[in-house]
Every structure is written in C-alpha cells, then in structure tokens.
Chains A and B, each alone.
Chain A
Amino acid sequence: MSKLSDNKWGNICERVDTCALTGAGAFIAGIPKAEIVVNGPLWCYFYALRYLEHSEYDMAQRFHGSQPDNNAIVYGSEKYLLATLERLPKSSSKPELLFIEGSCSMSLIGDDLNGIAAKAGLPFPFVTMDCGGMLGGFAEGFVKAAVKVFDKFLLQDVVREANTVNILGQSSFYLNGAADSLELQRLLSAVGYKVQAMPGAGSSLADIKLMGQAALNVVTNEELGLPLAKYLQQRFGTSYILAGLPYGVSGTISWLQKINAMLPASNLDALKQEAEQTKDYLTSLVNDISCNWGQLWFEQAVVSAPPTVALCMAQALRGEWADIENLTVICQRSLPQESYQTYCTVADNIFTAGVDNIALKDIVNEQGAVLLLGSSSEASLLYRQKRNNFISCNIAYPAQDEVFMLQQPVVGWQGSKYMLQRLWNAYISDSLHRQGRL
C-alpha cells in the first residue's frame, strides 16, 4: 500500500474548494471600499475573479490583476505590478485599503511586494501577502488575509464594551453569505447586543479597527472564524464561542441561548416570543401543504457544504424541516477542532472530503427519494450517473443550476421560512414531473 493511503489524495472531482488566492481576495472584498491586486498569471486571477463575481457582479472594478507573463519567473514581476499600481489611481476611486496578493509561483520567486508597493508611492494604505494554492484553500487564504489586516489596522488601546460582540467567520462570498450576515447582525441587535464588526462580511475598515472593544467573539463558520477568535483572544484576551449557524426556528433560539449563556443579553425573551409565533405559523402552513402533498419525506438526505454550514443545516433539516430515513453529511473540509458534535447530533453518517475518500455515487442511494442539499458540483456527478431519484437545493457554491437574485438569508426564522419554501417547491415540482413521466 502507498505510504499515504489515508485517502487524502482521492478524486478532486468529488470535492469542492477553491484557492487561497480566492479566499484571501474574498476576505478583502468583504470590506467595502477595499481593492485587491493579484500579482499572478491571468489564469489564476481570472479564476478568482469569476468566483467572486458570483456574489458581486461588478467585482472586476476593484479586483485587479498584474498579469505577468512566463518571463516574470526569471526576471521578476516588478514591472507588471508597478504598471498595474500606476494604473489604479486613475481607474478606481481611492480605496481605503489596497491588498496585494502574490500567486503561488510568484510568491516562490521571492519578489518583494512591500518594496514594490512602496516604490509605487501609493496614496492609500496597502497590505501585501504571499498567497496562492500552496497555502491551501479558501479558508486558509481568508484567515491569513484577515490576520494580515488585523496586524496592521486593529487599534490596541481600546476600552472593552459590555454587550458588544464581533461575528467571526462570515464571508460575503459564501452562498447567501451577505444576507446571512445581515440577519445575524439583526438577530443579535434585537436581543440587545451591539455588533462591532463582521470582518470579511461587510464591515468597514473603521469598524474592524475597533474590534478589540468586543466583550465576546461569536464564531459562526468555524473554519473561517476560529483562527481569528484565537488571534483576538491572544491579542485582547477576548473570549469566544463556537456558536455555529442558526438554521431553523428552534435552532436560532438555541443559538441565541448559547451566546446568552456566555454574555447575557437584555432582550432575549422578546425574541423567543417572536420565534414561537413563527413556529406556530410554519406548523399551520406545513399542515395545510401536507394535506394535499403528503409528508415531506425522503429515504435519504445528503448535505454537502463547507463544514459548519453542512453540519448546522443537517441539524435543522432533520429536526425541523423534513422527515428523513437516512441523513448523511459531507463536510467539504475538516473543522479546525474536528468538533462535529458541537453542531450536529442527528446525522447517521458524517464524511469529510479529503479524509474519507468515498465517491458520491457510493453514498447516494440508487432507489428511493433523495434530497441533495449541496452545490452544483455534487448534482453534476449525479447527473452524469443519470440518477433521476434526487431533488437538489444549493446551499454552497458552485451554484450553476439555480438563480439567486434576492438577498435572502438562510439563517434565522426568515431563513427557515425560505428553506421550507424551497424544499416544498422542489418536492412538489418533482412530484408533478414524475407524474408527467408516468
């Protein structure tokens, strides 16, 4: 057997991730008025740009590329980067922050990005970082870029404010990320917290600078937020909580209660009441739908996404939204603390891409109704298998087979309504199509 027969190799077509270059770009792009320059091949730049454009269509206006040719590996990329930096002040509005990231091959040749940026005499602050795929995937890039920004901009001498929290681990470039972040902020504000910042998810550089004021850091997506929480704990002594994502109505109340246990909120009861009303409303509605369409039942559900999304979504799916005989979760990467039970206690199987190397065709039942909550990547594998016993809803990128126009959260009770609506509509549509085929 091979020395590394630990399944880490496996078929990449069965997995979903991007590049650290994209993740780093996503963190910075989540700060309004920040711009990014990729010092790397056009191919790598363009791939990252296309990924970010899914969430922000006009991203090309603040995501630039130096586009060096192959000779830059020998002679350096300085002339390409300088030309790009010189073009910037003319082409863009003055950014509050310019982030310059090197791709993997450009990082290897050792160009001094800081030196080149200084030479360009930029009239705005900048941060540089060697990046690229050798660093890892989306999460690694996101975290490293965040730490770079924190290192440079966080103010040290700030006074801690009671009831103030930061939300760590949100990205505007996860599917529904921007809408989810706003809803999380709304929920926390409604129970009496002040949300200081959500770095990488819409907070301004000015708000990020004051993150040290928070009394508690709330970590949502663990793979993105936990390393930042640890950083802030070390630097400011701030406690943190691995809260996960509040899917479902009961899930949202549990989420708020968990945070409340760490940092008491002033207005939790009012929100509990709102939750009960929503629960009643949804129960009545589902009863009515079931009267015609029957039980929302699946022989199997497969939930595949970045780990925190997948685990928390699976919990709400089985606990609140649908009846499932077998529930399988595929985490598209490991959690930093591998604490699956923190987020999900109801799954029959939990697999991790890159650790458990099992092909999707061997996971998904060939018979019986299957629900796939994942991305277009998993659906594409099933289409190629000519499976016609599944319905799918995208909860992660890539999402090629579904359109998202509304800024609609998936978290909270607004999100619970939205997900139930999607599940029922997919179920009804599938029922009608099946009848059409008979």
Chain B
Amino acid sequence: MAIKTKRFIASRKSCSCSMPGIWRAVAYCTGVVVIFHSPKACAHVARTMDINAQYRSLAEGCQESISSVPLLSSQLEEKHAIFGGAERLEACITYAVEHYQPECLVIANSCVAGVIGDDVEAIAKETEVKYNIPVLSLDCCGFLDGEYYEGYYGITELLVKRFLKPCKRRAKTVLFLGDNGGPWGHYATEVTRILTAMGITVIGQFPGYMPFKNLSHAAEAEAVIILGGRGQTHIGLTKIAALMQQQLGIPYLDVYPTDWAQTQAWIEAVGKLLHCEADAAKTLLHERERFTVKYAEYLGTTKGKRIVLCIGRLLKYFHPAAVLSTIKLLQLDLKGIILLDAYSDTEREEMLTEIKKYTSVPIYSAGESDSLIRQADAVLTTHELQNKKVKQIFLPMLPKVGVAGELKFMQTIYRTLCSRIQGGVRYV
C-alpha cells in the first residue's frame, strides 16, 4: 500500500503571496505604516501569520519586545473591479498619514489590484510629493509577479538603496540580515549567544526589526551576518548583502550554521571576517566540548534504532546532508529513504543524485514503502503523513541553527524514541 501525505500540493510555483513578505520586511520598523491595496481579508491573512509567529516565540520562551507597526487595507470590494480602486487607496493613504503620522509608508499590491490595473506606482509618487514622506511600493501584485520572497527582498532592496548610508564603522559589531523569527527567535538568539562569547556585539536586525529612524546607522556595523536558510532565502539574502557591500562597503558572511559541521565552519568564518580568530578558536573548542558531551547522552537510546527518512521537498528547499549527518552521529539505523510523490522526473533525479553522495541506503518510492514505515521506530519526514500509527518527526523548512539547534533536533529524536505512545507527529 502506498503512503499518503496529509495535504496534497501540486504547485511548482505561485505557492505564496508577495504581500505578507512585504509586511514582514518592515513589520517591526517603528515609524512605518503598511497598506495592503487589497481586499480586507488579505491583511487578515498576514495578521494570522503574525499571531502564529508570536505564539511560536512564546512557546519557545521568548517574548516579543516590540509591537508590530500598523497594517491597513484599502478594503477593495466587488464594485472596485469595475470602477478601479485608486480612489479607495488614496483615501486610505490620507487616513494613514493623518492618523499615524508615519515616517515612511509601504504599499503592497494584491493580485486583485493587479487584475484591476490600478496604477499604484503613480499614487505612491504623488503621495511622496503631497505629504513629503517616503513611500515605497513594488511592481509585484500578490502571487502574480512573484511570491513571499519577492515582496520581502523587493522592499529590503528599496530600504538599502534609499535609506542606508555609509557610516563610520564600529569594530567587533555586526548587523543581522534576515528574519528567521526575529531578534527573539531561535536563530538570532543562538547566533547572538555564540557571537557574545566571541566578544562581538549585534547592533540590530535588518530589515524588519530596526526603527525607521535608525536605518541610517545600520552601516555602522563592521560586518553583516546573514540569517539565511536554503533556496530562495539564501539566494535573496546573499544578493541583498552583496548590494550592501557594494553600496556601503560592509563585508558579509553567508554561511548557514544548520548542523554541527556547518556551525563549526560558521564560527571559523566569523573569526576570520571580524579578525578575531583566537576568540573564534576558543569559542569553537568550548562549543565542541558542550556538543560532544550533550549528544553522547542520547546515544544509549538512539543507537541502532530503525529510522526511515521521507523526503518530498525540492532540493532547493531541502538538502539531505544535514539530516543524514545527524542520523550518523546518533548511530541510528537508517532502513531506507522514501521519495514522496511530489517530484517531476527531473526533480526526483536531482534529489536522488544528491542523496547518493551521502549514503548508499535503499531508496523507495511512496508506492512501495508502507511496510517499511510500519516497521520503523520513527520516521523523519518533510511532509506530515496520513498514517497516524507511526511516530513522525517533522523536518522544518528552516531547521534550527547552531549547537542549540542541532541538540534540539537530536533531543526531539531522542524523546520520540523514548516515547511509549503510539504514533503522533513531533515538531523540531
């Protein structure tokens, strides 16, 4: 019997929307007001993401320390499909300016505005002149001309070009570039911990978490540390960092400390970039000791346990090396890898080629793997499976980073294997 995933996803592109990306790029930049030129519901969707992110942080024991900026919607209705929504947007802008006195306005366009054909760029230019405040907008309408990251990077690029200025640099300071849950999220807190141990100070997190008035000081940092990921995240952030280097002369680090091997490389690279190799070597030694002692505690339970790995994500979003490395460290018995029915022939071939570089375990298709899953002690999977009897460990799109991230992943595997409860999904 074939295994089935809980949700069916057929799309290869247009999977997300640019508007939440735009919102997220400035969501905590005090002084900014965001307007969605959209039906009201689109703003509610972005707000839902915002709430989810906040409660995820709270669940991890991190409380947000600043409030998000106002999010307005021009509230397009059916009648605007005929008469256009430009007047509506202008009225909303007027309200925003009068009510919030923003230092900067950011306008995101919806797919509806794109279909109607409102000239938002022209309205943005008029608003700048009329109210003498900067207004940013992108030629990117909902899911029509790009996705979440086109919105996020598009606005970030505009912020860099318009508001970041060359400054006198401060030694042993860095600027974070990217989001990954914000300053209170796992990524920023873990790398801040390691950087602090090396005597390095973080002056801010750009773009989403700096007050608008502080943007002109962002370039005081000695270097930019990218809070990256895989695929579009990494490519987009690296491009922004390159732009900052070109425009402001700030060097950047684009290593992604997603597992123990990458974390070691990351610490060494930071030391080199900020000319503190000795501090880096000392920190690395300490982190290695901490990591080795801690993960050895799990081996008694994990050694020899039967594990199956299910992969359904494209290679650009999921690289198997990190998880295979963790499986090896924990001495798990990987019984096989199942490629879910989510690939075209080419995509499947790409993933197969990559997997074979790291392991020789048998690789199965979804149609021939049900019995394999039933015999496993746990399944590591990129997609939630319909089978509720098997213990699943869900592999996130953005794995946790650093020593703490790798240990957290190992701890999840350990606790899953300790559990006597049948089935269920565990999230890292």
Contact = CB atoms under 8 A, between A and B. Distances in A.
A105 B111 contact: yes
B327 to A, nearest CB: 29
9 nearest A-B pairs in the assembled complex, by CB-CB distance:
A133-B39, A133-B41, A19-B41, A2-B94, A12-B43, A105-B111, A69-B14, A400-B55, A11-B70
B51 A377 contact: yes
B116 A108 contact: yes
A341 interface: no
B144 A384 contact: no
B145 interface: yes
Given A11-B72, A134-B76, A70 B41 contact: no
B116 A13 contact: no
Interface in A69-92: 69-70, 73, 83, 91
Contacts of B10: 67, 83
Interface stretch (A41-49, A171-179, A197-205, A259-267): A41-49
12 contacts: A2-B91, A13-B70, A20-B41, A41-B143, A43-B17, A70-B144, A132-B41, A381-B67, A383-B54, A383-B63, A384-B68, A385-B67
Contacts of B7: 46, 49, 60
Nearest to B100: A11
A20 B40 CA distance: 10
Interface string A367-399: 000000000110011011110000000000010
A136 B40 CA distance: 7
A12 B81 contact: no
Given A18-B41, A41-B143, A64 B8 contact: yes
A104 B39 contact: yes
B6 interface: yes
A17 interface: yes
A264 to B, nearest CB: 43
Residue with the greatest number of chain A CB neighbours at <10 A, chosen from B6, B98, B99, B143: B143
A352 to B, nearest CB: 15
A324 interface: no
Given A13-B50, A137-B40, A385-B67, A19 B112 contact: no
B55 A137 contact: no
Interface of A: 1-5, 8-13, 15-21, 41-44, 46-47, 49, 51, 60, 64-65, 67-70, 73, 83, 91, 104-105, 108-109, 132-137, 376-377, 380-381, 383-386, 398, 400-401
B428 interface: no
B41 A17 contact: yes
B95 interface: yes
Nearest to A108: B115
Contacts of A16: 44
Contacts of B9: 42, 67
A104 B10 CA distance: 20
A110 to B, nearest CB: 10
Contacts of A67: 9-11, 14
Contacts of A65: 8
Contacts of A109: 115
B238 interface: no
B14 A42 contact: yes
Contacts of A136: 40-41, 77
Contacts of A49: 7
B96 to A, nearest CB: 7
A104 B112 contact: yes
A135 B91 CA distance: 20
A11 B76 contact: no
B73 interface: yes
Nearest to A9: B95
B16 interface: yes
A401 B54 CA distance: 11
B376 interface: no
Given A108-B112, A376-B55, A134 B78 contact: yes
Contacts of B66: 384
Contact of B47 (A60, A132, A377, A383): A377
Contacts of B67: 381, 384-385
Interface in B42-70: 42-48, 50-52, 54-55, 58, 63-64, 66-68, 70
B142 interface: yes
Given A11-B72, A13-B71, A49-B7, A70 B45 contact: no
A105 B115 contact: yes
B92 interface: yes
A418 B369 CA distance: 46
Residue with the greatest number of chain B CB neighbours at <10 A, chosen from A19, A105, A137, A401: A105
B13 interface: yes
B15 interface: yes
A9 B94 CA distance: 10
